[in-house]
Chain A
Amino acid sequence: MAKQAVSFTLNGKAVDVLVEPRELLIHTLRENLNHTGAHIGCETSHCGVCTVDVDGQSVKSCTLLTVQAAGSDVKSVEGLASADGLHVIQQAFVDEHGLQCGFCTPGMLMRAYRFLQENPDPSDEEIRWGMSGNLCRCTGYQNIIEAVKTAAKNLQQA
């Protein structure tokens, strides 16, 4: 299959890849660009462990062809922390014990990152609905909800 040259921005840096038109963004990120933070947990777009941020929207990167990401601004968990240290959301997940095995965590963090921009002061119920596209098998969600609330509070104070 003839490959296509695709350019996009990943965590603020320009990247160029050569991919088959059928290649999914999650595979390009993981195999081609060695960004293995986002994971693969299903093939039906239910689990959300592959969630990244594309042009200001949460996207399950197993549902997007890499060629569709051409020209996009992609942000993954690897781009969340900065030179100043951890992002407020990352710290909140540690402080509230919002992760166990860690497999869903990159997707969960990226969804929380976007969700808190969509809704900076959410109620518990709004967090439950707003994060519901991401599954976790370990935590029972309760501490993730606490983490998102803590992050919301700390982001507002920042």
Chain B
Amino acid sequence: MDKVTDKQKREDSLNGVGCSRKRKEDARFIQGKGNYTDDIKMPGMLFADMVRSPYAHARIISINKEKALALPGVHAVITAADLKPLNLHWMPTLAGDVQAVLADEKVHFQYQEVALVVADDRYIAADAIDLVEIEYEELPVLIDPHKAMTDEAPILREDLVGKMEGAHSTRKHNNHIFNWQAGEKESTDRVFDSADVTVSQDMVYHRVHPCPLETCGCVASMDKINGKLTVYLTSQAPHVVRTVVSMLSGIPESNVRIVSPDIGGGFGNKVGIYPGYVASIVASIVLGVPVKWVEDRMENISTTAFARDYHMRGELAADSNGIIKGLRVNVLADHGAFDSCADPSKFPAGFMHICTGSYDIPVAHLNVDGVYTNKAPGGVSYRCSFRVTEAVYVIERTIDVLAQKLGIDKAEIRRRNFVKKEQFPYKTCLGFELDSGDYHTALEKVLDAVDYKGLRREQEEKRAKGELMGIGLVTFTEVVGAGPSKSCDILGVGMFDSAEIRIHPTGSAMARMGTITQGQGHQTTYAQIIASELGISSDEISIEEGDTDTAPYGLGTYGSRSTPVGGAATAVAARKIKAKAKKIAAHLLEVSEDDLEWEVDRFKVKGVPGQEKTMKDIAWAAYNNVPDGMEPGLEAVDYYDPPNFTFPFGAYLCVVDIDKHTGVTDIRRFYALDDCGTRINPMIIEGQIHGGLTEGYAVAMGQEMPFDEQGNLLGNTLMDYFLPTFVETPKWETDYTVTPSPHHPIGAKGVAESPHVGSIPTFTSAVVDAFAHLDVTHMDMPHNAFRVWKQVKALGLLD
């Protein structure tokens, strides 16, 4: 009995996988000792500010720097003409296109970068940007993506005229970027031609921005004596930045050091490589001193990394019982003026082909056309894995439309079409192999928890009284953890990730990863994984990320890939250490390895009580008493190339009450059940879910980036762009099931993006449901009061 208690005690003291231990990173943040990019100060450092275009499409006639250069404290004004001799005026994008670093002869979107001013401090730099005189000749503007490929459309990219072979396909028009398809068109069309029932729904997934509270920025420092370039920058992928900077600048990669310090939220905004970074690096190289550039909020929302802007049509073919026979999805994707979408190279529409969702759909066809418009480039995954948000939205919306047409309850139609538990691993008709899932259990648990039937009864009563109450339901499947390098790469680098673990002689450990935390709590959760694998308390394990001079190469943190890929590398590296530790233990105990068994934090000789060596004993021995022929030390590195993606899923339900006189939607209840496989730290998981749901609420209910016909962005400050406050953010209820991933070393799947991906269609489903009895099948986001009120008015409900 005592033994069990002792074992349990030792287990608990590890603070390993499954426990809600407090975060190791909090101490510095609560005491104002975080170290974010704008906190970094270097001797002699200058400040840069960007001159930006007021026009969405215009020719640059002239640039006069004289007045700006004459201002005391101004050191340089850099334009495309200065970058041209270095061949740095354009840069490659992650999507196989090129992007102007500083506008070369033409501006293609409002707020495009035209000149970089470098000055003693940020006040002088801000004064100086107003003194740079630029003469423009306005050109016709293209804003509506539906008009991009018409005969009348202005030509946006003069650099691409005549180049009809794009990075992903032949281009049909000079404003066409790519066509990408998945599935089988002909057999899908045949299913639609002969189906009992078909539905078709157009929907706009509007343009939004991730808007983390910390904007993008960098401090570039060229040490000319040693030839070493160091750049501190807000990057979710510092190693990729190092490779790109080396390729662009010609500086050997060994002499480029990229450091992502603390990052004030990423959400996809900090994946890209932006003109401000490149121009600041050039400025530091030219001036020989460190140069800091930090965006303000308007620059952030206007220029770095929009998300979505998918104009979609979802179509389902089914039999009269609602059993789905086929899916068609057509997308027109507005990519802005340069294709700088952040997707794995072979997937110009990301993982949009996960649009078959949680359902057993025999045949499908997906068609995506990307077009240029006079808007900022971007197309990042805003808290999402490469267009999965769009994919989940289109299938979840369209299945609701089908349910409505057939008069089948939206829970019931999902039940009838789910991939069943026994069908996993399940190959979707668009090419993914769903590794695991139990959709029915998740759905039933949610329906029971909220008394779904009771809610429907209440809704009937309210409808009879003329009140608007809606119930939204979504059962989503995500694809995260990009990804297997046979299909996933960024600029040719496979999307593996890495971990390097060292056990010190006294038994504590430090580890470095190729990922980079932005609030997800990696310093805590990676330590928990190692703790459980190696029997070392997570309190004694320090985690470092983000410095390319010390961390092993990795592809970074986005698309919920840290736990599925970096976490897997961590577990595998730990197991390599454990294998060596076992050899050392056998040597110390003078037995064969086969005689040993592992228990929490030690190897024990089977059947011989007291004959054991703890991990601490073994660590010490690794540095002074190893078996003959074994090298000393106890460390390992693993570059983990995942065999498959992971597929977190969930069932979300939302209840709304709409005030028909004001159009205000009250979120009465939101119940979110997530299955992310093995749960490493439930406290952190819950925090991630709260955050993701809140960002989903923001997108669905208020965020938008509207443009006028001249291409002016209407709403690029926090006065207009909706970030929910304490007041309007709903109270979230969370729940979970656990279906471990069969191929991940510890069964974990990733979680941070599920709540964003899953909640957005849930809000739409709820708002539309409030009007469903009036034959409304879809309403486009954002569901702000004015738009909802217009729906009320169009239905004549105000009389």
> Chain A interface (Cβ within 8 Å of chain B)?
20, 22-23, 27, 30-31, 34-44, 46-47, 49, 76-78, 80-81, 86, 90, 93-95, 97, 99-106, 109, 127-129, 131-145
A89 to B38 CA separation, bound complex (whole angstroms): 26
- In residues 696-736 of chain B, which contact A (Cβ within 8 Å)? 717-719, 723, 725-727, 729, 731-732
Cβ-defined contact, A128 with B726, below 8 A: yes
- In residues 563-590 of chain B, which contact A (Cβ within 8 Å)? none
Cβ-defined contact, A46 with B719, below 8 A: yes
A75 CB to nearest B CB, Å: 11
- The residue of chain B having its C-beta at the shortest distance from the C-beta of A136 within the complex is B213
Could you list some 20 contacts between A and B, CB below 8 A? A36-B36, A37-B33, A39-B213, A41-B213, A42-B718, A43-B717, A77-B30, A81-B31, A100-B521, A100-B688, A102-B262, A103-B34, A105-B34, A106-B29, A137-B211, A137-B265, A137-B695, A138-B687, A140-B690, A141-B726
Chain B CB within 10 Å — which of A86, A127, A140 has the most? A140
Measured between beta carbons, the chain A residues less than 8 angstroms from B214 are: 39, 41, 101, 103
Measured between beta carbons, the chain A residues less than 8 angstroms from B265 are: 100-101, 103, 137-138
Measured between beta carbons, the chain A residues less than 8 angstroms from B731 are: 142
- The residue of chain B having its C-beta at the shortest distance from the C-beta of A105 within the complex is B29
Interface size, chain B (Cβ < 8 Å): 58
B303 CB to nearest A CB, Å: 15
A154 to B518 CA separation, bound complex (whole angstroms): 30
Given contacts A78-B31, A93-B26, contact A137 B723 (CB under 8 A): yes
Cβ-defined contact, A137 with B36, below 8 A: no
Given contacts A137-B695, A139-B687, A145-B726, contact A102 B29 (CB under 8 A): yes
Instruction: Decide yes or no whether B745 CB sits under 8 A from chain A.
Output: no
Instruction: Decide yes or no whether B669 CB sits under 8 A from chain A.
Output: no
Measured between beta carbons, the chain A residues less than 8 angstroms from B686 are: 97
- In residues 438-462 of chain B, which contact A (Cβ within 8 Å)? none
Q: Mark B200-217, 1 if CB is under 8 A from A, else 0.
A: 000000000001111100
Cβ-defined contact, B687 with A97, below 8 A: yes
Q: Is the interface of A mostly helix, strand, loop or mixed?
A: loop
Cβ-defined contact, B31 with A77, below 8 A: yes
- The residue of chain B having its C-beta at the shortest distance from the C-beta of A127 within the complex is B726
- The residue of chain B having its C-beta at the shortest distance from the C-beta of A124 within the complex is B731
- The residue of chain B having its C-beta at the shortest distance from the C-beta of A95 within the complex is B22
Cβ-defined contact, B297 with A44, below 8 A: yes
Picked from A80, A101, A132, A142, the residue with its CB within 8 Å of the CB of B727 is A132
Cβ-defined contact, B29 with A99, below 8 A: yes
Measured between beta carbons, the chain B residues less than 8 angstroms from A80 are: 31-32
Instruction: Decide yes or no whether B684 CB sits under 8 A from chain A.
Output: yes
Instruction: Decide yes or no whether B296 CB sits under 8 A from chain A.
Output: yes
Cβ-defined contact, A94 with B30, below 8 A: yes
B121 CB to nearest A CB, Å: 8
Cβ-defined contact, B723 with A135, below 8 A: yes
Instruction: Decide yes or no whether B2 CB sits under 8 A from chain A.
Output: no
Cβ-defined contact, B683 with A97, below 8 A: yes
B124 CB to nearest A CB, Å: 10
Picked from B213, B521, B729, the residue with its CB within 8 Å of the CB of A49 is B213
Cβ-defined contact, B719 with A44, below 8 A: yes
A13 CB to nearest B CB, Å: 15
B264 CB to nearest A CB, Å: 3
Given contacts A42-B718, A129-B727, A139-B687, contact A93 B693 (CB under 8 A): no
